[in-house]
Chain A
């Protein structure tokens, strides 16, 4: 149907160009978060939800406070952070090398692509008994579990990132007889950085996710082991406190990555 207003002489043109430009509001995000917690607390306070099933935010907060005051939280967290950090660094280093090789060399690509497709979807938890056999139950197998989970998304991010670097930039470098090594360091890798950074977002979340799986293997402490044990013991307030710590960790790392992206990718 045509706009009838336009048919009348002298009618103003109606604005039609709105929408499809969503912005973000920090206030709305915080308000939604606070709202959710209030509704949650109210549902329990008014007896709509049994605290047996869902501990109240107040209970979780007090569990969290006790954990912090007793030093337990820091003990678990510091151990896990070492595992997450070393696993992530290891998986990222290996992923960078393999992904770069796959992007640059035919042989690495021919072998690597089907390998990654075949191995990436294997749930790492299913491999735990094997990892225990191969690597034992010490820090090595825990680090390896996280590294393995980090490795594949990194490979894919690096590989597709370099693959998508404009071919013309490489031709440009070749036209100046720039050596292969310099082309990799000065064009391929910086050009792939946006893709690598978004790969980091995925791999860091994966590392946080996998710390629970990694600490399934004979861990006496660590935030993942803490969450697992709280679950096994049906200590739901402790469980939720541990989960809250993990999600706060996720938020912090996410913010750090955003900051790094702004700093490193200012040229975009």
Chain B
């Protein structure tokens, strides 16, 4: 399934948030959105996922949904958005409950999602008993359990410490390499973007426009190898130079409202 995003304008009252953002997400790719804070990355993701109504613009799909998909687009949230009164398994089962599934079908899907995210031993645990990294694994398992066509990840690792972030990036990549679920991944972390993305969409400061779409060009599997190091370092330099001035100006802006 291919996704066309074409936002001509998006504003909260008089405050323009996005201004002419158009791109296409190709099947099976990871598209990273980066940009200075407040540039409307998360809003853009919300629009793509149908949680925010754009002022003027449209998001459309092309092609068929994958076999057995219950929800076309699912989110992974920065703050995990787990239901604290439910166990890990119950949280993962949550998006299945309103679908017509037998209990055994549902249990099988949940068990499978837990297995893929390495959570099988934690099925009965409550969120409060888990570390941040494990909680986000639950968030990812929940997003995957419905077999989405498109994963929308909204700074999924920002709330975690550096080491956990590293671990989860690896695990997520392993998972993705096996299944190649199409994903839009919002981050403000250049290294994360360069580890995961096929392409990186660089947004300007508010109102967000596309400054450039950078193709990484090195397969994800090869990125830790020494031969990729130079290319990636150059790309990092390039991305940073695109963002740097924008970030500096955005940093000095007064918070709106």
Given a CB threshold of 8 Å, the question of whether A touches B is answered with yes
Pairwise interchain contact B51-A174, C-beta atoms closer than 8 A? yes
A18-72 residues at the B interface, CB under 8 angstroms = none
Q: Is B81 an interface residue (CB 8 A)?
A: yes
Closest to B129 in A: A267
Pairwise interchain contact B95-A187, C-beta atoms closer than 8 A? no
Pairwise interchain contact B95-A168, C-beta atoms closer than 8 A? no
A187 touches which of B50, B73, B83, B127 (Cβ 8 Å): B83
A178 touches which of B50, B81, B95 (Cβ 8 Å): B95
Q: A173-187 CB contact bits vs B (8 Å, 1 = yes)?
A: 111111100100011
**Chain A residues, Cβ within 8 Å of B94:** 173, 176, 178, 186
Q: B72-90 CB contact bits vs A (8 Å, 1 = yes)?
A: 0111010101011110000
Pairwise interchain contact B51-A175, C-beta atoms closer than 8 A? yes
Alpha-carbon gap, A166 to B98, bound state (A): 21
Q: Is B34 an interface residue (CB 8 A)?
A: no
Known: A175-B73, A175-B75, A176-B71. A168 touches B83 (CB 8 A): no
Q: Is B128 an interface residue (CB 8 A)?
A: yes
Q: Is A190 an interface residue (CB 8 A)?
A: yes
Q: Is B49 an interface residue (CB 8 A)?
A: yes
Pairwise interchain contact B126-A176, C-beta atoms closer than 8 A? no
Q: Is B146 an interface residue (CB 8 A)?
A: yes
Q: Is B97 an interface residue (CB 8 A)?
A: yes
Known: A168-B79, A176-B71, A176-B146. A268 touches B84 (CB 8 A): yes
A150-190 residues at the B interface, CB under 8 angstroms = 166, 168-169, 171-179, 182, 186-187, 190
Pairwise interchain contact B51-A190, C-beta atoms closer than 8 A? no
**Chain A residues, Cβ within 8 Å of B49:** 175
**Chain B residues, Cβ within 8 Å of A186:** 83, 94, 97
A176-206 residues at the B interface, CB under 8 angstroms = 176-179, 182, 186-187, 190-191, 193
Q: B114-141 CB contact bits vs A (8 Å, 1 = yes)?
A: 0000000000001110000000000000
Chain A nearest CB from B146 CB (Å) reads 7
**Chain B residues, Cβ within 8 Å of A178:** 94-95, 97-98
Pairwise interchain contact A182-B51, C-beta atoms closer than 8 A? no
Size class of the contact patch on chain A: 20 to 34
**Chain B residues, Cβ within 8 Å of A177:** 71, 98
Known: A169-B81, A190-B83. A175 touches B74 (CB 8 A): yes
Chain B nearest CB from A65 CB (Å) reads 46
Alpha-carbon gap, A268 to B126, bound state (A): 9
**Chain B residues, Cβ within 8 Å of A166:** 79, 81
Alpha-carbon gap, A179 to B100, bound state (A): 13
**Chain B residues, Cβ within 8 Å of A193:** 85
**Chain A residues, Cβ within 8 Å of B127:** 267
**Chain A residues, Cβ within 8 Å of B77:** 168, 171-172
B85 touches which of A174, A176, A179, A190 (Cβ 8 Å): A190
**Chain B residues, Cβ within 8 Å of A266:** 126
Alpha-carbon gap, A267 to B79, bound state (A): 17
Chain A nearest CB from B44 CB (Å) reads 15
Pairwise interchain contact B97-A182, C-beta atoms closer than 8 A? yes
**Chain B residues, Cβ within 8 Å of A179:** 98
Known: A171-B51, A268-B128. A176 touches B81 (CB 8 A): no
**Chain A residues, Cβ within 8 Å of B85:** 190-191, 193, 267
Chain A nearest CB from B241 CB (Å) reads 34
Chain A nearest CB from B51 CB (Å) reads 6
Alpha-carbon gap, A166 to B83, bound state (A): 10
Alpha-carbon gap, A266 to B85, bound state (A): 8
**Chain A residues, Cβ within 8 Å of B74:** 175-176
Chain A nearest CB from B106 CB (Å) reads 14
18 A–B pairs (Cβ distance < 8 Å), ordered by A:
A166-B81, A168-B79, A168-B81, A171-B75, A171-B81, A172-B77, A173-B94, A175-B51, A176-B74, A177-B98, A178-B95, A178-B98, A182-B97, A191-B85, A193-B85, A266-B126, A267-B84, A267-B86
Interface residues of A (CB under 8 A from B): 166, 168-169, 171-179, 182, 186-187, 190-191, 193, 266-268
Given contacts A176-B94, A190-B85, 5 further A-B contacts (CB under 8 A): A166-B79, A175-B49, A177-B98, A267-B85, A267-B86
Interface residues of B (CB under 8 A from A): 49-51, 71, 73-75, 77, 79, 81, 83-86, 94-95, 97-98, 126-128, 146, 152
Q: Which 9 A-B pairs have the closest CB atoms?
A: A176-B95, A172-B81, A267-B85, A175-B75, A168-B81, A267-B84, A190-B85, A267-B126, A176-B71
